[in-house]
Structure 1
Amino acid sequence: MTSLITPVRAALTGHPAYSQTFPCEPSTAEVGRKLVRDALGVWHLDSLADVAALIMSELIANAARHTPCHSIRLNVGRASATRVRVGVVDQAPSRLPVLGQAGENDESGRGLLLIDGIAHRWGFDLHGPEGRPWGKEVWAELLVRGVA
């Protein structure tokens, strides 16, 4: 397993963000949750850690289950002073996320429904040239309470 000991450099401009690449497999969820908790701790936003870690776990699980990618990039950033964004970048732009309609007895298919219920908003962005993207980022945002 990859360690998070690697120092993270602060961005010189814009909003702060943390980003690292890991294998596209379910076990990456553990380091994804740690990345989220560490970043939110640095920003003194520990109150968002549980929800953000759950979202990251679901995004990683979706990438591992629904894409043929070997690696994914995990992102945690301050989209603005009032929003935190967590996301997973994969190299499967043709496999876009869709809200599931899991049956009562289904054991899977509720990840994006869960994210939709707990995040302020979620979506995806294609990466690469228009008409020929090389990948996508599926992301979710949480609101930072108490920021003026």
Structure 2
Amino acid sequence: MPENEPEPEPEPEPEPWEYSLYIPNDLRAVTVSRRTLRLILTMHGLISLVDVAELLAAELVSNAVRHTKGPAALRVRWSVGVLRIGAWDADPEPPERPRPLDQAADHEDGRGLALVRACADTWGWHPLSRHGNRGKYVWCELKAA
């Protein structure tokens, strides 16, 4: 590049965004959550994350709906190259510890968080108690390549 030409500016980091989808305690909510997440990621140009993100969201929402009696919510947040997917439910009890995948395959239950642990870059949970809402938030993160 000639000396008097400025270097090109780096691409600006996309602005952070967040969506929340409140869902009833109904197994059909898993499909609604997956399709909504696919649309969100497609609209934000994050197609490369769609397949894994759908799997993770389905596991988190499925756990929230199957193992609790109240409403739930899917939260999706993008910030600084990291996609966070989380599910809120009204039960403050911690999620069951994930089994190793080879052991989880032999059981009907316990595979969801094992898949989350295997496919996500990181995951965790924390209890919630604010604005009169109680429960827990189970989340995982995917880093953009």
TM-score bracket, normalised by the shorter chain, equals: 0.7 to 0.9
Runs of 4+ in 1 over 4 A off after TM superposition: 101-104
CA RMSD of aligned residues (A): 2.0
The corresponding residue for 1:88 is 87
1:3-14 residue pairs with structure 2 within 5 A? Answer: none
Which letter does structure 2 place at the counterpart of 1:92?
Answer: D
The corresponding residue for 2:125 is 124
Which letter does structure 2 place at the counterpart of 1:75?
Answer: R
Q: TM-score, normalised by structure 1?
A: 0.77
Instruction: State whether structure 2 residue 136 is matched by structure 1 residue 140.
Output: no
Which letter does structure 2 place at the counterpart of 1:93?
Answer: P
Q: TM-score, normalised by structure 2?
A: 0.79
Which letter does structure 1 place at the counterpart of 2:134?
Answer: W
Change (3 A) 1:49 1:103: closer
Structure-2 separation of matches of 1:48 and 1:103:
25
8 Å CA contact 1:126–1:133 kept in 2: the answer is: no
8 Å CA contact 1:120–1:141 kept in 2: the answer is: yes
The offset of 1:27, in angstroms, is 1.3
Which letter does structure 1 place at the counterpart of 2:68?
Answer: T
Identical amino acids, percent of aligned pairs? 34
Unaligned 5+ runs, structure 2? 1-14
Structure-2 separation of matches of 1:136 and 1:123:
11
